[in-house]
Amino acid sequence: MLSRIRSDIQCILERDPAARSTWEVLTCYPGLHAVILHRLAHACWTHGLKWLGRFVSHITRFLTGIEIHPGATIGNRVFFDHAMGVVVGETAEIGDDCTIYQGVTLGGTSLYKGAKRHPTLGRGVVVGAGAQVLGGFTVGDGAKVGSNAVVTKPVPAGATAVGNPARIIQAELDVKREEAASKMGFSAYGVTQSDDPLSQAMRGLIDNASSHEHQIAMLWKAIDTLQASRDKTNCVPGDATLAEHFEADKLNQLVGK
């Protein structure tokens, strides 16, 4: 119990640059008080003392401005920063190391009793101020929800969801990167191909260099022909293209084509 409170305090000192001392965190952080009191409310709830659980939760809301249903499951080192106006629903689950700012709702969109109506946050999720996460889906580990986002669909691990309705900005970035990479002649990730993405990238570069060499050779040939028809003399650069031939097939074999 005490060691859990100690780790709660430590995580606040680590995540809030404004926090200056253990004493300050212990006495002035409603997010910490809400988490400690929720453990009491949750224990009452799970031991069949439903009314008492609700009452402790109600008192906590009065004292801290944070409303956590006693049935909600909250992991270790969860930090409600500022946290006034936060609502956490009955079937919500919050993983270890999550950070939740003021005005956040982890709410439901259906009225079925007993069903999983509220979201599950994975480990290390950050939910920005004013965000509304509504429904019984999962926000994956390490995901970020932007301030004021309205999220009604699952968020993949590590992704960032912003806007109303929320869109995943990580996925958009990946698409842009993939487009740019394919213009250069290879796939940046290569995960849809069956072999090593690094050798695919190498092969793309080799093919690209080979095609450039082919175009340069054709240009030299054209210059050569022009020169020959003008003064009937040999062109030295034309010889150079023959001497320094780029062996694409040989190099491709080296990287495993």
**Interacting residue with ligand COA among 148, 152, 227, 252 (CB under 6 A):** 148
Per DSSP bridges, beta strands 167-168 and 160-162 are antiparallel
The DSSP letter of residue 155 is: B
Of residues 141 and 213, the one with the C-beta less far from ligand COA: 141
Token pair listed for 112 = 């079925």
Token pair listed for 180 = 């740019």
Choices 18-26, 27-35, 59-67, 143-151 (CB under 6 A): range interacting with ligand COA: 143-151
Q: What gap in Å lies between CA 27 and CA 7, rounded to an integer?
A: 15
Of residues 30 and 53, the one with the C-beta less far from ligand COA: 30
Per DSSP bridges, beta strands 138-139 and 150-151 are unpaired
Choices 44-52, 144-152, 174-182, 185-193 (CB under 6 A): range interacting with ligand COA: 144-152
**Residue 75 phi, psi (nearest 5):** -80, -165
**Interacting residue with ligand COA among 29, 79, 101, 186 (CB under 6 A):** 101
Token pair listed for 160 = 């960032």
Choices 6-14, 49-57, 155-163, 226-234 (CB under 6 A): range interacting with ligand COA: 155-163
The DSSP letter of residue 88 is: E
Give the type of residue at 125.
Answer: V
Of residues 61 and 167, the one with the C-beta less far from ligand COA: 167
**Residue 46 phi, psi (nearest 5):** -75, -15
Smallest separation, CB 184 to ligand COA (Å): 22
Smallest separation, CB 99 to ligand COA (Å): 9
Token pair listed for 164 = 């109303």
Instruction: Tell whether residue 129 is a contact of ligand COA (CB under 6 A).
Output: yes
Identify any residues that bridge with 87 across adjacent strands, giving them in sequence order: 67, 105
Q: Would you call 39 exposed, middle or buried from its count of C-beta atoms within 10 A (0-12, 13-18, 19+)?
A: middle
Choices 14-22, 34-42, 157-165, 209-217 (CB under 6 A): range interacting with ligand COA: 157-165
Instruction: Tell whether residue 217 is a contact of ligand COA (CB under 6 A).
Output: no
Which residues 169-188 are close enough to bind ligand COA by CB under 6 A? 169
Q: Are 158 and 175 in contact (CB under 8 A)?
A: no
**Residue 98 phi, psi (nearest 5):** -80, 150
Of residues 19 and 129, the one with the C-beta less far from ligand COA: 129
The DSSP letter of residue 192 is: T
Choices 1-9, 41-49, 142-150, 238-246 (CB under 6 A): range interacting with ligand COA: 142-150
Which residues 7-26 are close enough to bind ligand COA by CB under 6 A? none
Instruction: Tell whether residue 82 is a contact of ligand COA (CB under 6 A).
Output: yes
**Interacting residue with ligand COA among 160, 202, 206, 241 (CB under 6 A):** 160
Contacting positions for ligand COA (CB under 6 A): 82, 101, 128-129, 144, 146-148, 160, 162-163, 169
